[in-house]
C-alpha cells in the first residue's frame, strides 16, 4: 500500500487550490491528489460561453497543466473511503493510505433524474450550460431562435451556482431583446423552488429584469421529463397540500439543469449527513466524526452556496486547520460560509450576490465600488475580465487574494 501524509480526492477547483495552500504553508509536506480526469474545467466560464461572451477554449486546460509539480498525481478514481484504516480504495483495486484526508470530489449531476433529458441533450433545442462542452450549443440556439417558446428550468436545491439557471435565461433574453425578437418569444422560467433567489436582498434587482424581459415565472414547477423529437417538456407542480399535477409544455428551446447530489462513494458512506453530503463542521471544515478527514467544495454539507468563490475562502481554512491537526495544535481558522454568485442579468451588467451562512451579506467591495444588490458594470468587468485570471493564476496557485481565514475563539 502506497502512503502519503495528505491524500486529496479530486483535482477540481477545490482539490488543486487546497494543495497549493498546503504547500505554501509547508513546502515539505507530502501530498497526493487522486483525480481521473484528463482536463480541468473552469465551470463558472460556461455561463459566459452560453451567452456568447467567452470562447469555450478558455474554460478548460489539460489536467497535467494545472496539477502542481509538488504533488504525486494518481490518475484514478476513488471508489471508497476506508476511514477506519485510513485508506482510500481506487478503481483499479489498489489502496493508498493517509495521515490526513481531504475530500474534494465535487458533486454528481444526476441527468437521469429527469426522464429523457440525457438522450435529448444537444439536439432539437435541448441544452444545458451544466453539461461539459454544451454551452456553445446554448449560444447557437439563442442566436437562431426567432419565435416560439423558450423554457429555462431550475431543479430543487442544493445545486452548484444556484443562480446559473437564471443567468442563462437573462443573457438569452438580453440577446433576443437587442435583436428585436423578444416580442415573438414566450420565455418561461420553471423553478422547483418557491423564490427567485434564496437571499432576499438580491431579489428586487432580479425581479426588475424579469419584468423588463417579460418572463413568465412559475414557482414550484419541476421539470420531470423531456421528449426531444416531440419538443415537449413535462413540469410537475405541487400545491400547499402536497397535491401534484403534471403539465406538458411544447418548446423551441429548453435550457435544463439536472438535480444534483453528492458522489455515490460519499452519499452511501458513514461520511455523509442525512442529505448524503459530506458531514463537516461549519467553521473548521473538519469532518464531524473523523478528525483526520477534512473537506471542501461542492461535496460539502455545510450551508454555503456551492461555488468556486466559496472554495477560494475554504482552501486556506482547510490548509491551516489540517496542518494544525497534524501538529496536534488547536484548529484556529474559521470559514464563515462565504459564497458568491455573479448574476449576469444582461451582457455588460451583473448583480454580484456575496453572502455567508444564514444569508448574511459579505460584500468584498465598498458600496461605492460595487453595490451587490444592484446590477453594475463594475461587477461585469470583474467576472468577464478578472475572475478567470484570478482562478487560473491566483486561486489554483495558492495566492490567497482577500481570503484570509477568520480566527476561531477557542474555549478552555
Q: Are 285 and 279 in contact (CB under 8 A)?
A: no
CB 155 within 8 A of CB 190: no
Q: Binding segment for ligand FAD among 234-242, 272-280, 308-316, 348-356 (CB under 6 A)?
A: 308-316
CB of 18 to ligand FAD, least distance (A): 9
Rounded to the nearest whole angstrom, what is the least distance from the CB of residue 250 to ligand FAD in the complex? 25
Question: Which residues within the stretch 255-284 sit at the binding site for ligand FAD (CB under 6 A)?
Answer: 263, 265
The values of phi and psi at residue 317, to 5°, are -65, -45
Nearer to ligand FAD by Cβ, of 217 and 390: the residue is 390
The answer to the question of residue 125 lying near ligand FAD (CB under 6 A) is no
Q: How many residues bind ligand FAD (CB under 6 A)?
A: 36
Q: 55 or 247, CB closer to ligand FAD?
A: 55
Indicate if 341 belongs to the active site.
yes
Measured distance between the N- and C-terminal CA atoms of the chain, rounded to whole angstroms? 40
For the CB of residue 245, give the shortest distance to ligand FAD in the complex, in Å.
Answer: 30
Kindly state whether residue 390 participates in binding ligand FAD, applying the rule CB under 6 A: no
> 36 or 348: whose CB is closer to ligand FAD?
36
Cα distance between residue 6 and residue 232, in whole Å: 49
Residue of 114, 142, 161, 285 marked active site: 161
User: Is residue 343 at the binding interface for ligand FAD, with CB under 6 A as the rule?
Assistant: no
Question: CA 191, 195, 197, 198 torsion: positive or negative?
Answer: negative
C-alpha cell of residue 266: 460519499
SS3 of 213, please? helix
For residue 290, the surrounding DSSP H or E stretch is: none
Select the residue interacting with ligand FAD from 129, 188, 370, 376 (CB under 6 A). Answer: 129
Pick the stretch among 5-13, 20-28, 268-276, 349-357 that binds ligand FAD (CB under 6 A): 5-13
Give least dist CB 154 to ligand FAD, A: 12
Residue 114 is a binding residue for ligand FAD (CB under 6 A): no
Annotated catalytic residue: which of 341, 352, 375, 403?
A: 341
Query: Does 106 participate in binding ligand FAD (rule CB under 6 A)?
Result: yes
Stretch that binds ligand FAD, among 34-42, 54-62, 179-187, 277-285 (CB under 6 A): 34-42
Q: Which three cell numbers stand for residue 336?
A: 464563515
CB 375 within 8 A of CB 349: yes
Whether 296 contacts 311, CB under 8 Å? yes
Query: In angstroms, what is the minimal distance from the CB of 158 to ligand FAD?
Result: 11
Does 130 interact with ligand FAD (rule: CB under 6 A)?
A: yes
Among 53, 70, 75, 77, binds ligand FAD (CB under 6 A): 77
SS3 label, residue 112? helix
Among residues 116, 295, 316, 342, which is the contact residue for ligand FAD, using CB under 6 A?
A: 342
Q: Give, for 264, the enclosing helix (H) or strand (E).
A: helix 264-267
Quick one: 12 or 398, whose CB is closer to ligand FAD? 12
Q: Is 169 in the site for ligand FAD (CB under 6 A)?
A: no
Q: Is the Cβ of residue 149 or residue 160 nearer to ligand FAD in the bound state? A: 160
Give the number of C-alpha atoms closer than 13 A to the C-alpha of residue 169, restricted to the C-beta side.
33
Q: Does residue 46 bind ligand FAD (CB under 6 A)?
A: yes
Per DSSP, the three-state class of 270 is coil
Contact 17, 311 (CB under 8 A): yes
379 neighbors 351 (Cβ within 8 angstroms): yes
Residue 392 near residue 16 (C-beta atoms within 8 A): no
Q: Which residues pair with 101 in a beta bridge?
A: 7, 293
164 binds ligand FAD, rule: CB under 6 A? yes
Q: Is 106 exposed, middle or buried (0-12, 13-18, 19+ CB in 10 A)?
A: buried
What does the alpha-carbon distance between residue 71 and residue 67 come to, in Å, rounded to a whole number? Answer: 8
Residues contributing to the site for ligand FAD (CB under 6 A): 9-15, 34-37, 43-44, 46-47, 77-78, 104-106, 129-130, 160-161, 164, 263, 265, 297-298, 306-309, 311, 340, 342
Could you give the residue numbers annotated as active site?
161, 341
Amino acid at each position: 500500500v502506497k502512503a502519503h501524509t495528505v491524500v486529496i480526492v479530486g483535482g477540481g477547483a477545490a482539490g488543486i487550490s487546497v494543495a497549493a495552500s498546503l504547500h505554501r504553508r509547508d513546502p515539505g509536506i507530502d501530498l497526493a491528489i487522486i483525480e481521473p480526469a484528463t482536463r480541468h474545467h473552469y465551470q463558472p466560464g460556461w455561463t459566459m460561453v452560453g451567452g456568447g461572451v467567452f470562447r469555450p477554449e478558455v474554460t478548460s486546460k489539460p489536467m497535467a497543466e494545472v496539477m502542481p509539480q509538488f504533488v504525486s498525481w494518481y490518475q484514478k478514481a476513488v471508489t471508497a473511503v476506508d476511514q477506519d484504516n485510513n485508506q482510500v480504495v481506487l478503481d483499479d483495486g489498489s489502496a493508498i493510505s493517509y495521515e490526513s484526508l481531504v475530500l474534494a470530489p465535487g458533486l454528481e449531476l444526476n441527468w437521469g433524474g429527469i426522464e429523457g433529458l440525457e438522450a435529448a441533450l444537444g439536439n432539437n433545442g435541448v441544452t444545458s450550460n451544466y453539461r461539459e462542452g454544451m454551452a456553445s450549443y446554448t449560444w447557437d440556439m439563442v442566436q437562431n431562435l426567432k419565435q416560439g417558446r423558450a423554457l429555462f428550468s431550475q431543479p430543487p436545491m442544493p445545486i452548484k451556482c444556484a443562480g446559473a439557471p437564471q443567468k442563462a435565461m437573462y443573457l438569452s433574453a438580453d440577446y433576443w431583446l437587442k435583436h428585436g425578437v423578444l416580442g415573438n418569444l414566450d420565455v418561461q422560467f420553471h423553478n422547483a423552488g418557491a423564490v427567485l433567489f434564496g437571499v432576499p436582498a438580491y431579489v428586487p434587482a432580479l425581479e426588475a429584469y424579469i419584468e423588463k424581459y417579460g418572463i413568465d415565472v412559475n414557482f414550484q414547477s419541476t421539470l420531470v421529463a423531456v421528449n426531444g423529437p416531440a419538443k415537449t417538456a413535462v413540469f410537475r407542480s405541487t400545491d400547499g397540500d402536497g397535491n401534484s399535477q403534471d403539465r406538458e409544455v411544447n418548446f423551441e428551446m429548453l435550457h435544463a439543469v439536472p438535480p444534483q447530489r453528492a458522489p455515490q462513494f460519499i452519499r452511501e458512506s458513514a461520511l455523509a449527513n442525512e442529505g448524503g453530503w459530506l458531514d463537516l463542521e461549519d467553521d473548521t471544515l473538519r469532518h464531524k466524526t473523523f478528525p483526520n478527514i477534512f473537506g471542501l467544495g461542492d461535496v460539502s454539507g455545510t450551508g454555503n452556496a456551492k461555488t468556486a468563490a466559496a472554495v477560494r475562502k475554504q482552501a486556506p481554512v482547510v490548509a491551516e486547520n489540517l496542518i494544525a491537526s497534524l501538529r496536534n495544535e488547536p484548529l484556529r481558522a474559521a470559514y464563515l460560509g462565504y459564497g458568491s454568485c455573479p448574476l449576469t442579468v444582461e451582457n455588460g451588467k451583473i448583480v454580484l450576490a456575496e453572502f455567508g451562512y444564514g444569508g448574511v451579506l459579505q460584500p468584498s467591495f465598498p458600496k461605492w465600488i460595487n453595490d451587490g444588490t444592484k446590477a453594475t458594470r463594475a461587477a461585469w468587468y470583474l467576472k468577464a475580465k478578472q475572475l478567470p485570471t484570478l482562478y487560473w493564476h491566483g486561486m489554483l496557485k495558492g495566492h490567497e487574494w482577500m481570503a484570509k481565514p477568520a480566527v476561531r475563539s477557542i474555549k478552555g
